[in-house]
Amino acid sequence: MLSLQKFFLMKIRDIDFGEFPVFLAPMEDVTDLAFRLICKQFGADLVYTEFVSADALIRNVSRTEQKLTVLQEERPVSVQIYGKDVTTMVEAAQIVEQSKPDILDINFGCPVKKIASKGAGAGLLRDIPKMLEITREVVKAVKLPVTVKTRLGWDSNSLVITELALMLQDCGIEALAIHGRTRMQMYAGEADWTLTGEVRRNPLIKIPIIGNGDVTSAKIAKENFEKYGVDAIMVGRGAIGNAWIFAEIKNEIAGQALNDRENKNRFILPTNEQKKEILKTHILRSIEWLGGERKGIVHSRRHIAATPLFKGIPNFRPTRIAMLRAETKEEIFGLIDNIEF
């Protein structure tokens, strides 16, 4: 097992992420501006936008263009694009560059049927030559550092990641994120980080390797840094309704006692009452971001449903159902305010 004392600073080109950085994974309908800002507040070292469709972007679809909004206080931020056509991906990458993110990421990992079955996202794991062509041309087309996020392979009979990582590196990418599942696994079963560790230990790999999959606690994050030697860890579903997980991970890695309030390098974790206020702040920002009360509340329901904050409260099911049905901020805030721990 590797020691956390022997790591080096992780960089993507000239962006220095320090030791043991923790990133917010790109997630559709989750990592919008409102949520990214809250995760940044709790220590996320890099945040990613929602998936941006290259096809929709070049057609000037307004909702897609909105995803490119980047604020100074969330930097560094990466915009992630997906598509199946080389020319379209190049054009989309150039449009993204105009919005001035810090990094451009290419999605070769989304397993959703409507994307993968059309040859985009993880679908390109069945057409490696085309994946590499897209990567090479995008790298050539922009001045931004280009990174890739992908999976172990299409299925258990095509675990290509160890060879694919070298090929993607040769295309000029500056970091690679690996989700420890195949496309066919979707999100089922447990993520397997074994091959991610093999990629990281390959002396021919010179770019940072980012591990992703089932990071749902600070303990798991620390163990994965130690066991697999990755340069960074990416948190996906474990952050939904749980933005403070980044602070918990930072404290765990630093080995700091949570009651040591004199250590300026640690995060003061929010109390349960403060976490309720964080959820309310997120709802308000979503309402503002989406330009409508009901839209913002509906958009926030995934976080309300997934948050670990309310787990274990006796007889909580009726309250949870009521929160997920609420359509005004007064209604949902009243429910949240009346929750007792």
The total of other beta-carbon atoms located within 10 Å of residue 114's CB is: 9
Give the pair of three-digit tokens for residue 55.
């096809």
Q: How far apart are CA 244 and CA 100, in angstroms?
A: 27
51 beta partners? 80
Q: How far apart are CA 135 and CA 139, in angstroms?
A: 6
- Could you give phi then psi for residue 149, rounded to 5 degrees? -125, 130
**In this structure, is the dihedral angle defined by the CA atoms of residues 165, 28, 144 and 208, taken in order, positive or negative?**
negative
Average pLDDT per run of 10 along the chain, which is 341 residues long?
Answer: 59 93 94 94 96 90 82 95 96 95 96 91 96 98 98 94 98 98 92 96 97 96 94 96 95 66 70 95 91 91 92 92 93 94 89
Residue 286, H or E segment: helix 272-290
The total of other beta-carbon atoms located within 10 Å of residue 7's CB is: 17
The second-level CATH assignment, the architecture, of 15-254 is Alpha-Beta Barrel (3.20)
Give the pair of three-digit tokens for residue 238.
């474990």
Closest to 111 measured CA to CA, from 182, 160, 40, 58: 182
Nearest 5°: the CA angle 330, 335, 336 is 100
Contacts of 135 (CB under 8 A, 6+ apart): 106, 146, 148, 168, 171, 172, 173
pLDDT at 277: 95
Per domain, the residue ranges of the chain are 15-254, 272-337
Contacts of 297 (CB under 8 A, 6+ apart): 283, 286, 287, 326, 327, 328, 329, 332
Residue 341 near residue 308, CB atoms below 8 Å: no
pTM over 0.85, yes/no: yes
Residue 68 near residue 49, CB atoms below 8 Å: yes
Distances (CA, A) of 99 to 1, 24, 77, 312: 42, 20, 11, 43
Closest to 46 measured CA to CA, from 194, 174, 229, 198: 174
**39 is a catalytic site residue:** no
53 beta partners? 82
Give the pair of three-digit tokens for residue 328.
């005004």
Tally the C-alpha atoms within 13 A of residue 47's C-alpha that lie toward its C-beta. Answer: 29
Distances (CA, A) of 238 to 4, 72, 249: 22, 25, 11
Q: How far apart are CA 37 and CA 282, in angstroms?
A: 9
Residue 214 near residue 220, CB atoms below 8 Å: yes
Q: How far apart are CA 43 and CA 72, in angstroms?
A: 15
Q: Which amino acid is at 82?
A: Y
- Among 25, 95, 110, 233, the active-site one is 110
Residue 102 near residue 76, CB atoms below 8 Å: yes
Q: How far apart are CA 154 and CA 141, in angstroms?
A: 28
